[in-house]
Homo-oligomer: A and B are copies of this chain.
């Protein structure tokens, strides 16, 4: 049965997916502050107690949403990395652009991914591990580029990767969530700016 069919009677069909959809919509509109289980249920057209048959509690639903977001993000990054065929430096560029693009295309998912509330302070959660997996793609590209001698090796791959990650993460954050929010809007509107910034980043890394 398709995930978004209307309910056909007493039973819903695929309430779990409907709750995830409604939850994402609610996070988009109101942020995590305005996220309530009852409102999610309302939007899914179901009583407020029904979600408990699919998620243990409110936190479990939020965590499921974050994991879903990381899944999509990881897919986007892998695809970008695979498409770049002209060497590790271009792969770094492609990963950076894909990072910012994902943030602009799916601002609510991007924001959700980095909410500190989703991570315990003690140990790495599944949500956290999902994020670090994508980072490894960048580290690999940097390591390869330094091995080939095409980017500076003044600092090790850890530092250079962190610097590149900082730049794209900062750019994405400023555009989506931060002070540039109003100027930003869609990916199409800011693509030239993003290209230029990442160009500066990549040129700065390149060995003279």
A interface vs B, CB < 8 Å? 31-33, 114, 116-117, 119, 121, 124, 128, 131-132, 135, 152, 154-155, 159-160, 162-163, 165-171, 173-174, 177-179, 181-182, 193, 196-197, 199-201, 203-205, 208
The 3 closest A-B pairs by CB, nearest first: A204-B204, A170-B170, A166-B170
Q: Are A117 and B31 in contact (CB under 8 A)?
A: yes
Nearest B residue to A111 by beta-carbon distance?
B116
Residue in contact with A208 in the complex, picked from B154, B165, B174, B208, CB distance below 8 Å: B208
Nearest B residue to A34 by beta-carbon distance?
B117
The CA of A174 and the CA of B132, in the complex, are separated in Å by 12
Residue in contact with A178 in the complex, picked from B152, B155, B169, B200, CB distance below 8 Å: B169
Q: Are B162 and A171 in contact (CB under 8 A)?
A: yes
Q: Are B152 and A197 in contact (CB under 8 A)?
A: no
Residue in contact with A119 in the complex, picked from B171, B181, B197, CB distance below 8 Å: B181
Residues of chain B contacted by A177 (CB below 8 angstroms)? 114, 116
Residue in contact with A196 in the complex, picked from B155, B168, B200, B205, CB distance below 8 Å: B155
Q: Are B154 and A163 in contact (CB under 8 A)?
A: no
Total identical chains: 2
Residues of chain B contacted by A208 (CB below 8 angstroms)? 208
Smallest beta-carbon distance A58→chain B, Å? 12
Residues of chain B contacted by A174 (CB below 8 angstroms)? 162, 165-166, 169
The CA of A33 and the CA of B31, in the complex, are separated in Å by 11
Q: Are B159 and A163 in contact (CB under 8 A)?
A: no
Residues of chain B contacted by A124 (CB below 8 angstroms)? 182
Q: Which of A152, A165, A205 has the most CB of B within 10 A?
A: A165
Smallest beta-carbon distance A142→chain B, Å? 11
Residue in contact with A159 in the complex, picked from B121, B166, B193, CB distance below 8 Å: B193
The answer to whether residues A117 and B166 also contact, given A200-B154, A204-B201 and a CB cut-off of 8 A, is no
Given contacts A159-B197, A204-B205, 18 further A-B contacts (CB under 8 A): A116-B178, A121-B182, A132-B179, A135-B179, A152-B203, A154-B200, A154-B203, A155-B196, A162-B193, A162-B197, A163-B200, A163-B201, A165-B170, A166-B167, A166-B168, A167-B167, A168-B170, A208-B208
